[in-house]
Structure 1
Amino acid sequence: MMLRRALSALTLLGAVAAAPLAHAQTNGLTTPARHVTIMDGASGAILFCDDCNTPMPPASMSKLMTVLLVAERLQSGQITLDTRFPVSENAWRNGAMSDGSHMFLELNSEVSVRDLLRGAIVVSANDACIVLAEGIAGSEQAFVTQMNERAQALGLTSARFRNVTGLPDPDHVISSSDLARLTRHLINTYPELYRIYSEREFTHNNRTQQNRNPLLGAYTGADGVKTGHTDDAGYGLVGSALVNGQRRIIVFNGLDTMAARRTEALRIMSAAFNDFSVAQIAAQGEEVGEAQVRLGSRRTVPLVAQNNIIIGGPRGVQSALTASIVYDGPLQPPIAEGQVVARLVVEGPNFQTQEFPLAAGRRIGKANWFSRAWEGLRLTLFGG
């Protein structure tokens, strides 16, 4: 039997605490951009989703994964910022001699990882990405294999990478929500490296190029992250800003012009801070209710949040939300502590219902023989 017990309305929710969420809110913003995600940086809660889980061609925004792997190799000591890699003919022809973004690397020259990283991050240099991939993994395709393996390990289930640059390939895709998760991981794990994303220009071989991120210098607190453009994908952006101690991450794609990307970047980032909010229902391990137990050593079992339970969405919506504990019950013992036995369902007007697992807060064994016999007799005589 499915049991539901309503909790108090969510009008007194506390402040946010860090914990990832993957649930989507679908109201509160209209934009011509496609595949839109707004994420709270602290919690990972998705505050707005418009087709955010559909794989899309990310163009140069996929270089975030390329950079992440380089960061991990730096952290492990496999390479250093002073390590120098040669510029192969492949990197030269498909980077410096191509129509795409590049940092004018010279064939057969050697370039430091420090400069290659800045080229990849600040000016989206395709040649830099290929040189890094070949230097680390031996070939671009070997590095791509590592990118895909890392994406799966991070839970980025929509990601399928076919190159290190984001150049057009029908099988090179990732969702905007997974791009937001990737960005959050990069920001939180490698804050020193992430600072490079705020640099406004980069000079190499006496050529200075500008960072194309339209948020930098135009939106207070903006410090990254990455633009993207191909004919198939349109103009897109992964953006992030830190304002009054709160971080928001936005991702969108599919606009027709660079000017439209700038306009929507500023508008969506403004909405991310002004029109959306997050709230915590319960901290990890906090008791949120109890469930009935039949023929157990106790009649009830406490239910605790398996993770921090955080919701996000348009401001004003949360005051009308309700939360209910739902489970198939009464529960049958034995019940192990930490076993997921129920779920918390949060719902309300203009809000996409969200569910969160609840675990048993203690072990519940079977009742003794006398209690079981008495319960059997009771059910026989009076029904249950």
Structure 2
Amino acid sequence: MIYRIFGGSVLALCLLSADRIVLAEPIETAAKQVLLLDEADGTVLLSSNIHQKVEPASLTKLMTAEVLLSELKAGRVLEDTIFTVSENAWRTGGAPSGSVAMFLKPKEEVPVIDLLRGIVVQSGNDAAITIAENLEGSEGKFAERMNRRAAELGLSDSSFRNASGLSDPEQVVSMADLVTLARHIHRTYPKYWPIFAEPAFEWNKVFQRNRNPALSPRIGGDGLKTGQNESLGFGVVATKAAGDRRVFLAMGGLTSRDERFQETRKLLDWALEDFARRPLYSAGDIVETVPVYGGTSETVALKLAKTFKPLIPIDGQGVTAQIEYSGPIAAPVVRGDEIARLVVRVNDRQTVSVPLLAAANVPSKGLFTRAADALGELAFGWLRNVKLPWTTAS
């Protein structure tokens, strides 16, 4: 059955069974920070501490890669453009550093496309520093550029101090920013996306496998990167596609490589196997009629601009939908104006929100009549009945 709730400025519908709300338990994860969402419309499937700032470790290299990819796309550098390895890059991020490295040599001349593989596949700190120094003259200057680019992309929780991810307490990111960055890279640089799925790369006779667990045949993902340090724990940014869907995952706070592998597989499989898009309304459907004061009509119908097929659990459990608006609505109302939003929640967490538009014009009455209507609405509006059709037919 359908249970109708009307209170204040929120109209709500809850799917019920046996006269009670049925809520499925959300999936559990060992990750301390996690964001998992669907690519098509950003539907959030799982989130926890998504704006908590942590040191990104080698996940920093996603931002380094983005800056280099933007140079390639703009034609300011070419794939065969040669960058030279400095003594600093070799000592700070190469073999002498004891950290993850591409194993570049001092004064070595390396094509840009190989340096891109060096940071994406091998996670080489020396490759990241070489990119930074050749593009901006120094790693410090490159970090300033990273921050400018991060601001352009809307990464509001991030602050960068170096290109490699070597420890710096002032270098921080969030899972929300990492997913935003990953989605941007996937959408913006399709030509270079296959590099993020390359399983291995060899340079200077050193063969290294990609550390990303999502690339395992047991998981079947096709990008992006891992990182690990004391602040982040074992972290990953990953993506996987199945059929016409793709999901993105960022998580941190895991305690081991094995735990990272198991959680990556579990969450990506859950997101793609336990959710489906179900048509609820078609474009132009009237979703609800809401009260208007001070107008030639006492109500206005709300419609959708396009067909609404939200992503919901296959079993339909734990799903609620709400129409939210600031009321009472005052005339004049213009057809096509956004009056409210249709919000879908799963297990009490908002997953997606779409605008509801006025289906007709409602001209204004005179000032005196509008004032009287406003008093009536404030006093008696809560008594209005609400009928909102809902279907989960597939």
TM above 0.5, one fold? yes
Q: How far does residue 162 in structure 1 lie from its aligned partner after superposition?
A: 1.7
Indicate conservation of the 8 Å contact 2:294/2:369, yes or no. Answer: no
Q: Aligned in 2, Cα 1:144/1:253: closer, same or farther, shift over 3 Å?
A: same
Give the corresponding residue for 1:343. Answer: 341
Q: Which moved more, 1:300-309 or 1:164-173?
A: 300-309
Deviation at 1:228, TM superposition (A): 0.8
Q: Offset of 1:201 from its aligned partner?
A: 1.1
CA distance in 1, matches of 2:35, 2:154: 17
Report deviation, 1:2.
3.2
| Displacement of 1:124 | 0.5
Matched, 1:296 2:287: no
C-alpha distance in 2, partners of 1:288/1:362?
10
Q: Given residue 249 of structure 2, which amino acid in structure 1 is its aligned partner?
A: I
- Relative distance call for 1:307 and 1:159 in structure 2 (3 A) is farther
Task: For 1:264 and 1:380, locate their aligned partners in 2 and report how far apart those are by CA, in whole Å.
Answer: 56
Distance in 2 (alpha carbons) for counterparts of 1:101 and 1:339: 54
Select 1:2's aligned residue among 5, 8, 11: 8
Provide the alpha-carbon RMSD of the alignment: 3.5
Is this contact kept in 2: 1:167–1:230, CA < 8 A? no
Partner of 1:165: 164
> Which position in structure 1 is the counterpart of 2:113?
114
Partner amino acid, structure 1, of 2:180: R
Conservation of the 8 A alpha-carbon contact between 1:27 and 1:314: no
Q: Distance in 2 between matches of 1:10 and 1:101?
A: 53
Correspondence for 2:239: 240
Cα distance in 2 between the residues matched to 1:134 and 1:336? 55
- How far the C-alpha of 1:67 sits from its partner, in A, is 0.8
3-state SS of the aligned residue for 1:28? coil
After superposing the two structures, state which structure 1 stretch, 149-158 or 269-278, moved more.
269-278
Alpha-carbon contact 1:323-1:344 (below 8 Å) kept: yes
Contact kept, 8 Å, 2:249 with 2:268, in 1: the verdict is yes
Cα offset, 1:245, TM superposition: 3.1
User: What is the CA deviation profile of residues 245-280 of structure 1, one whole-angstrom value per residue up to 9, with x for unaligned ones?
Assistant: 322222222223223322332233222323345556
Structure 1 segment 1-384 matched on structure 2, within 5 A: 2-6=8-12, 28-96=26-94, 97-219=96-218, 221-277=220-276, 288-304=287-303, 312=311, 314-316=313-315, 318-335=316-333, 340-347=338-345, 350-353=347-350, 356=353, 358=355, 360-361=357-358, 364=361, 366-367=363-364, 369=366
How many residues align structurally?
Answer: 366
Separation (CA, whole Å) in 2 of partners of 1:298 and 1:351 = 35
Offset of residue 328 of structure 1: 3.6
Counterpart contact for 2:33–2:50, Cα < 8 Å: yes
Does the CA contact (< 8 Å) of 1:220 and 1:243 recur in 2?
Answer: no
Normalised TM-score (structure 2): 0.80
**TM-score scaled by structure 1?**
0.81
CA distance in 2, matches of 1:175, 1:213: 19
The residue type equivalent to 1:205 in the other structure is N
Helix, strand or coil at the partner of 2:59? helix
Between 354-363 and 153-162, the greater mean CA deviation after superposition: 354-363
Distance 1:247 1:10 in 2: 30
Shift of residue 116 of structure 1?
A: 0.4
* Unaligned 5+ runs, structure 1: 12-24
Which stretch of structure 1 is more off in the superposition, 294-303 or 209-218?
A: 294-303
Distance 1:65 1:144 in 2: 10
| Cα separation, partners in 2 of 1:68 and 1:35, compared to 1, 3 Å | same
Q: Tell me how far 1:83 sits from its aligned partner.
A: 1.1
Aligned with 2:223: secondary structure?
A: strand
Counterpart residue identity of residue 29, structure 1? I
What letter corresponds to residue 152 of structure 1 in structure 2? A
**Structure 2: stretches of 5+ with no match in the other structure:** 1-6, 18-22, 381-394
Alpha carbons 1:200, 1:211 under 8 Å: kept: yes
1:52–1:309 Cα change, 3 Å: farther
- The 3-state SS of whatever aligns with 1:252 is strand
Mapped partners of 1:33, 1:186: distance in 2: 24
Distance 1:8 1:254 in 2: 34
Return 231-240 or 359-368, whichever deviates more. Answer: 359-368
Could you tell me how far 1:73 is from its partner in structure 2?
Answer: 1.2
Q: Is the 8 A contact 1:84 1:111 kept in 2?
A: yes
Q: Structure 1 pair 263/7, CA: closer, same or farther in 2 (3 Å)? A: closer
The percent of aligned pairs where both chains have the same amino acid is 35
Following the alignment from structure 1 to structure 2, what is the Cα–Cα distance between the partners of residues 252 and 66?
Answer: 19
Decide which moves more: 66-75 or 151-160: 151-160
